[in-house]
Amino acid sequence: MKWNIDSFGFVCWHEINDNETICPHCHESILSIDREPYDKKLIRALNHPEQQTVLRVIQILGDRHNPDTLP
């Protein structure tokens, strides 16, 4: 089984096997990133390669009114 790591706010947006604990592409620890706060994952998703995802993330960040995510 594979899952797309972009749904978890990861860095490199590659598909990986569900039993991986380290991304074989970017070498990030999946477990440590999975424990990050939701807003930090959203900020990571601003670098997503799909423009529609970036626009959705911008909307979500704005709706959450978190002062830590404001410029």
User: Would you list the domain boundaries of the chain?
Assistant: 2-69
Contact 37, 43 (CB under 8 A): no
The pTM score is 0.65
> Tens digit of pLDDT per residue, the chain (71 long)?
344 445 444 467 777 788 888 888 878 787 777 788 888 888 888 888 889 989 999 999 999 988 887 76
Tell me, what's the pLDDT at 1? 32
User: What would you measure as the largest C-alpha separation in the chain, in angstroms?
Assistant: 39
Q: Which residues pair with 40 in a beta bridge?
A: none
First to last CA, the chain: 39
